Structure 1
Amino acid sequence: MRGGEGVNYLESLAKLGVGGAHPGGLKLTKEIVAQQSIDHTTKLLDIGCGTGQTAAFIANQYACSVTAMDIHPIMVEKAKQRFLDGEVPISVVQGNIEQMCWSEQFDIVLSESVLAFTNISKSLTSIRNVLKCNGCFLAVEIMVDESVGESDKHAIASFYGFRHLLTETEWREKLSQSSFKQINIEQPSLNPLPITIDEAQDFHFSNSEIDEALDILHQHQALTKRYKEKLPYAVFRCTK
């Protein structure tokens, strides 16, 4: 099962303007950030920000400095519009997280279902570089069970466009190799399938290729249900 030649999974999220597309959705995001010490002095970077749902929530809830970043131009435009409509003072940057230009500027870097689409080693090095000393990296990422065979891994990676599918052990190794400390990986008990056609509460449609994008999203639902026991997601917390 593939995402198709015209519109793939990430393109579908962009064209449908899906907010909270990561596992656990905004509910999980709220739980994650509530456990951090965030106030008006905090500088937070949301990488792979999508339509800006998470960034807007954090800026409104904690009145802190938030920078949002995404590589996809449609996502960047939708995030900008969200912040404009909500009068939220967030800086939006289009760029590649593997090549971020900041240096030790952020107290927290947040990544929600982003790293698997990138060169993970390069991304983690870049993330560590933009964090201040003792800064915190928070992530929500898919893991693959060690029992999953290569053919299933290929099918999953091909559909989503993942460059890597890692086990928990492999994630720990990657984080450690990138010199992160106090590495903690937890599997939350929230519903792992936040995106459904009927229940999604944050869609901002673009006009083109909607039918094809919706079809891809239906395929996503079928795939996640098929592999839900083999593709757990986890919350990563670690420090620089």
Structure 2
Amino acid sequence: MSNHRYLDFLAKLAVDHAHPGGHLLTEQLVHHLQIKAGDKVLDVGCGTGATVMYLSDKVKAEVTGIDLHPLMVERAKTRITPKQRTAKIIQASAEALPFQSERFDAVLSESVTAFTNVTHSVPEYFRVLKNGGRLAAVEMTIEEPLDEQKKQLIETVYGVKDVRTEKEWLSLWKQAGFTKIQAYRTNQLRQDEQDAQPSYHFTSKLDEEALDVWLQHIQILQTFQGILTYRAFTMEKQAQS
């Protein structure tokens, strides 16, 4: 495994909708963004391609998925059939999106941004959105400020660059130029427990290191129950007059 042990773990398990809220939250975010047939949509950190397929098959959007992890990209590409001409997968970084400016009507980032250098990734989201375009992001969030020791524990296990409060996330989006920013807690979004769970597809037997990551993940959830949560954010790139 690389330095991103948690992301490697998810890739090994080939987890569909590996973000809080699962597929149901994805559907709700698509509704919030008012994505319609023919819209150009970017799925940042597309993982196994589950959201790409949903947007292509059900919404009939023209969707591009990008992911930096080669195993995720490989699995996502295998899901695209010749009939799905409006879906494509590219290996790329959220911190340097290989697209021209103002290309997309909507950008989705489901549990991705926290794993990136936000000084690069968030401005990139803004850049590739059309004026009037919309962004939705699901992000790891802490309910209260933590001391450095606790923050480092979370950051080490998940490989994230930083853990942020809702206020810190809102400030980040605003500084990038986004407007009409909304934050949603778990209980503000309708959840069905079964649909909210990610789907696991074991691509191979878990090795000792993968099991260690899983146990650390469980321990973090128990230790920071009620403190380490998530938010769904929606926002717009205001159209220039």
Q: The TM-score by the shorter chain falls in which range?
A: 0.7 to 0.9
Large movers: runs of 4+ above 6 Å: 4-7
For structure 2, which runs of at least 5 residues remain unmatched after alignment?
A: none
Instruction: Give the aligned partner of residue 17 of structure 2.
Output: 20
Aligned to 1:165: 163
Aligned positions of 1:223-238 closer than 5 A: 223-238=220-235
- Aligned counterparts of 2:4 and 2:229: Cα–Cα separation in 1: 26
C-alpha deviation, 1:166, in angstroms: 1.1
Q: Is the 2:21–2:197 Cα contact (8 Å) retained in structure 1?
A: no
Is 1:45 the equivalent of 2:42? yes
Contact in 1 for aligned 2:16/2:199 (Cα 8 Å): yes
The partner residue of 2:135 within 134, 137, 144 is 137
Spell out the pairing of 1:65-76 with structure 2 (5 A cutoff): 65-76=62-73
Q: Is the 8 A contact 1:14 1:75 kept in 2?
A: yes
Contact 2:26 2:51 in 1 (8 A): yes
CA distance in 2, matches of 1:5, 1:109: 27
Distance 1:201 1:79, change over 3 A: same
CA distance in 2, matches of 1:56, 1:164: 30
Question: Could you say which residue in structure 1 is the equivalent of 2:84?
Answer: 88
Number of equivalent positions: 232
- What per-residue deviation string (whole Å, max 9, x for no partner) do you get for residues 100-136 of structure 1? 1321110000001111111112111111110000100
Distance of 1:153 and 1:105 partners within structure 2 = 36
Q: Distance in 1 between matches of 2:37 and 2:145?
A: 45
* Percentage of pairs with the same residue: 37
SS in 2 for 1:97: coil
2:19 and 2:95 map into 1 onto residues whose CA distance is 20
RMSD: 2.5
Q: What secondary structure does 2:180 align onto? A: strand
1:63 and 2:64 matched: no
Provide the residue aligned with 2:113 in structure 1: 115
Find the residue that maps to 1:98 and give its secondary structure.
coil
Amino acid in structure 2 at the alignment position of 1:181: T
Distance change >3 Å, CA 205–CA 107, structure 1 → 2: same
Instruction: Look up the equivalent residue of 2:54 and give its one-letter code.
Output: F
TM-score, normalising length from structure 1?
Answer: 0.88
